[in-house]
């Protein structure tokens, strides 16, 4: 039992420490505070580890503990030595709005939100470790390939499995957990899924705390955890929670960059956006949203064209290089590129298809049980407090981003072969899950009355 715990702890702590050290290198200090830095560092460090594992597979080195741990530990040691010489803190400011003394009702809401989130996290971790891997899609498309890489370590052999075009970040993450555990354990390897969710939850809370206050941040966390579909996916071996993290966090980091003007946010967002393309195929389309979002933010600033281009490159280049690394490997090994789903449709009744897709989104938003009543609350908030969308640039940006995700999926379903697979209830819910955290964020921001968000 102790060996299991130590193995899992090693597999979780090393990427967190690696990413934490890299953020210290980029920002010359913790990012606002250590807990937020650690939550960002875990996703960053895990992405670096899986990229290194992919490189080892390409050069035909075995995926052993020492081949992964020692080189990255040496890099970590060098980064630590560099970070020790920096005495100055990061040039970042954590602004606090002036708040009146909390009322009894506000304290009660905060306490209820904290208890509810704690209970949901207990439920997620308990159910994760209660059962081994069991979802058929997760076993077929992820776990089998991960187990094969753990025992055989041969990329060409993945042609034996379904979904050869699928990115390998989640598979290699499970392989990493098994390597640190020194054995394949169908229960312990799953611990990485709720941990990834907790890391996003921490970032979610601090983002809301930055733009509102402690009470509203707690409410936003409770709203996020109230979606049963999200809680369920935090316990199973699907890509959804990983893509949720790597998809939403770059958006939040770009907004932080717009507020703080520290280019480290651009580099960090670009790296995490690149890791999203190594997590799931549809993240390639999400990259277009990041580019449009950054273009909007850059145009909101009065900067010379040359400087705008330089800042764009700081974000775009890391994302592009990570994407091209795996695409080149797929082409070299003659793997499928997109499982044929990128093919354009022959002429169809586009108006009828568009009507069906809008109907599918509306039903999923308002009549499925996956999201509690959060989409309904968001709609009411928009109607009641619509003026805050145009008055608050952050709220406006998140609203536009939410709209871009919906338009993207409608466009993909309208024009490509992905329609049949995407627009069934469960698959559409899984697609929505990747940008769903924008909903509780917008609910809080549109209902919070404070000058800090402006």
Tens digit of pLDDT for each residue in 152-187? 988 988 888 888 889 999 999 999 999 998 889 898
Lowest pLDDT segment from 25-29, 37-41, 239-243, 338-342: 338-342
Give pLDDT, residue 157.
86
Tell me what the mean pLDDT of segment 268-287 comes to: 95
pLDDT in tens, 194-228: 999 999 999 999 999 999 989 999 999 999 999 99
Q: What percent of the chain has pLDDT over 70?
A: 89
| 401 band by pLDDT with thresholds 50, 70 and 90 | very high
- Among 248, 8, 245, smallest CA distance to 125 is for 8
pLDDT in tens, 42-55: 999 999 999 999 99
**Structure token digits, residue 290:** 């990041």
- Among 196, 206, 308, smallest CA distance to 247 is for 196
Radius of gyration of the chain from its Cα atoms, rounded to whole angstroms: 22
- Among 242, 233, 71, 234, smallest CA distance to 146 is for 242
Give pLDDT, residue 193.
96
| 420 band by pLDDT with thresholds 50, 70 and 90 | low
For 306, residues 6+ apart whose C-beta sits below 8 A from its C-beta are none
Q: What percent of the chain has pLDDT over 90?
A: 59
Q: Return the ∠ at Cα 309 (arms to 407 and 412), rounded to 5°.
A: 15
Residue with tokens 């091209």: 324
For 143, residues 6+ apart whose C-beta sits below 8 A from its C-beta are 133, 174, 186, 237
In contact, 212 and 450? CB cutoff 8 Å: yes
Residue with tokens 């109607």: 383
Alpha carbon 153 to chain centroid distance?
27
10 Å Cβ neighbour count for 106?
Answer: 17
Is pLDDT above 60 for 86? Answer: no
pTM of the model: 0.94
Give pLDDT, residue 422.
73
Give pLDDT, residue 309.
94
Tell me what the mean pLDDT of segment 230-255 comes to: 95
The residues with which 416 forms a beta bridge, in sequence order, are 344
Tell me what the mean pLDDT of segment 393-400 comes to: 95
Give pLDDT, residue 245.
97
Is pLDDT above 70 for 127? Answer: yes
Is pLDDT above 50 for 454? Answer: no
Backbone angles phi, psi at 44, to 5 degrees: -65, -50
Give pLDDT, residue 388.
84
Tell me what the mean pLDDT of segment 99-107 comes to: 73
Is pLDDT above 80 for 426? Answer: no
Which of the two residues, 340 and 435, has the higher pLDDT score?
Answer: 435
Work out the mean pLDDT of the chain and round it to a whole number: 88
């Amino acid at each position: 039992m102790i060996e299991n715990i130590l193995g899992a702890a090693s597999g979780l702590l090393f990427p967190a420490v690696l990413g934490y050290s890299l953020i210290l290198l980029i920002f010359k200090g913790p990012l606002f505070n250590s807990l937020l830095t650690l939550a960002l560092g875990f996703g960053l460090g895990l992405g670096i580890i899986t990229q290194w594992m992919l490189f080892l597979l390409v050069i035909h080195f075995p995926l052993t503990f020492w081949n992964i741990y020692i080189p990255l530990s040496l890099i970590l040691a060098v980064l630590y030595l560099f970070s020790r010489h920096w005495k100055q803190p990061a040039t970042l400011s954590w602004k606090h709005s002036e708040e009146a003394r909390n009322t009894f009702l506000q304290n009660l809401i905060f306490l209820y939100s904290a208890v509810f989130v704690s209970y949901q996290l207990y439920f997620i971790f308990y159910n994760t470790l209660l059962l081994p891997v069991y979802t058929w899609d997760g076993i077929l498309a992820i776990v089998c390939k991960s187990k094969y890489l753990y025992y055989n370590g041969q990329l060409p052999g993945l042609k034996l499995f379904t979904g050869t075009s699928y990115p390998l970040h989640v598979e290699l993450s499970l392989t990493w957990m098994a390597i640190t555990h020194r054995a394949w354990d169908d229960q312990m390897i799953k611990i990485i899924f709720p941990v990834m969710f907790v890391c996003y939850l921490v970032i979610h809370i601090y983002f809301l705390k930055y733009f509102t206050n402690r009470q509203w941040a707690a409410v936003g966390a409770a709203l996020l955890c109230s979606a049963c579909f999200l809680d369920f996916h935090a316990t199973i071996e699907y890509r959804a929670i990983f893509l949720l993290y790597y998809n939403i966090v770059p958006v939040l980091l770009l907004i932080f960059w717009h507020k703080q003007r520290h280019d480290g946010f651009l580099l960090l967002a670009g790296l995490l956006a690149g890791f999203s393309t190594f997590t799931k195929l549809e993240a390639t389309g999400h990259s277009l949203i990041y580019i449009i979002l950054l273009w909007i933010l850059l145009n909101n600033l009065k900067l010379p064209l040359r400087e705008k281009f330089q800042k764009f490159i700081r974000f775009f280049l890391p994302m592009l290089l990570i994407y091209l690394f795996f695409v080149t490997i797929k082409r070299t090994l003659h793997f499928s590129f997109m499982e044929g789903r990128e093919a354009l449709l022959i002429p169809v009744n586009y108006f009828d298809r568009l009507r069906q897709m809008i109907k599918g989104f509306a039903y999923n938003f308002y009549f499925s049980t996956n999201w509690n009543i959060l989409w309904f609350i968001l709609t009411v908030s928009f109607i009641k407090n619509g003026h805050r969308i145009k008055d608050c640039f952050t709220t406006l940006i998140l609203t536009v981003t939410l709209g871009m995700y919906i338009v993207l999926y409608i466009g993909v379903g309208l024009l490509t072969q992905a329609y049949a697979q995407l627009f069934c209830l469960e698959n559409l819910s899984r697609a929505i899950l990747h940008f769903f955290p924008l909903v509780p964020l917008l609910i809080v921001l549109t209902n919070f009355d404070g000058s800090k968000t402006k």
